[in-house]
Structure 1
């Protein structure tokens, strides 16, 4: 039993479901990342572009995650906002080798952050600067600068470089997922929960 399962049991939390939105431009690697995060016996070898959206489910002994894999194609991005209210956490994937469309990625991110269903919520965001294996790929630091992530002051966020095809960099994302579990517990416990979360976060570090 992991740390967060023990915490959930100690606090008497019942099974809860966390809805995660996976967003980003087309061909950034969203579906591949989600596939790598699934248990090995549930992974697929055939990854195809997402049309509209698809839904994946993951479970731990204490939490159930539902991931909405939203298509990044231009004609489908208008669907994103219809699921913002459902989202309790966001995974935003960037193709770090696609320098030409970095401006488009920033525009979509800005639109997301300024949407009424997102703007005033302290929703956690995990950024993947994907395709770090490409020769001319930008570093996660450079991607962060181009997207102006330092301006995000009211939401917990983290960025990590990844190569989704090989599964590299996703472990760092898993650490953030653990923080999401703590954040989910914090939302349901108020000030006492916040004190516990801070203490546990110090232990995890």
Structure 2
């Protein structure tokens, strides 16, 4: 039986549930992005900075997402690691208009992928959203990838190199939480990876 037919038959009889961590520095747009994924009648009209974390739910491609919107403020970042072990995927949001803070985001990324609970899950997918692409000062996704070192040798021991045969699944795209541009592209990629991940775990 082909993989796609297997997935189609399997998904036809049950829904996939996935726990996602949405992380990134403060003011990167995490809450706005997750709010956009929700059904229109469930969206909030006003957004406030996240304190600690919030839990949001939405559906995409027959997947029910349980998304943990983790505060990016420095004093709350130690909360991220408490959820790594049970995560099915990560959305890492970067403010592409704030080039000065991208090195800080890179440092936080290093903490994530070197954490034992993440290292023990080499196929856990990471979606990078280069957010705020609607702003003139924003950098394109390939430049953000370069600044984060996603294609460089520095992540060689952490399975984030695109040239590795056992590379951790990752994808980066430009996005705008304000307009919604690029978000469908990103969440579709993540949904596909999660379907494959769950199907292999159940096979």
Q: Evaluate the alpha carbon distance shift between residue 9 and residue 99 of structure 1 in structure 2; reply closer, same or farther with a 3 A threshold.
A: closer
Match of 1:59, SS? strand
Q: Evaluate the alpha carbon distance shift between residue 30 and residue 111 of structure 1 in structure 2; reply closer, same or farther with a 3 A threshold.
A: same
Gaps of 5+ in 1: 191-205
Is 1:36 aligned to 2:36, yes or no?
yes
| Alignment check: 8 A CA contact 1:31 1:69 kept | yes
CA distance in 1 between counterparts of 2:20 and 2:95 reads: 20
Corresponding residue number in structure 2 for 1:18:
18
| Alignment check: 8 A CA contact 2:16 2:195 kept | no
Q: 1:24-63 to 2 correspondence within 5 Å?
A: 24-59=24-59, 62-63=62-63
- TM-score between both structures, scaled by the size of structure 2: 0.84
How many residue pairs end up in the alignment?
A: 186
- 1:55 deviates by 0.3
Gaps of 5+ in 2: 162-166
Deviations 1:118-141 (A, max 9, x none): 013110010000011221211111
CA distance in 2 between counterparts of 1:134 and 1:71 reads: 23
Corresponding residue number in structure 2 for 1:103:
103
Corresponding residue number in structure 2 for 1:82:
82
- 1:7 deviates by 5.7
CA distance in 1 between counterparts of 2:23 and 2:60 reads: 23
CA distance in 2 between counterparts of 1:61 and 1:158 reads: 18
The Cα RMSD (Å) is 2.0
Q: 1:1-205 to 2 correspondence within 5 Å?
A: 10-11=9-10, 14-59=14-59, 62-121=62-121, 122-150=123-151, 151=155, 152-153=160-161, 154-190=167-203
- 1:189 deviates by 4.0
| Alignment check: 8 A CA contact 1:8 1:62 kept | no
- 1:187 deviates by 2.9
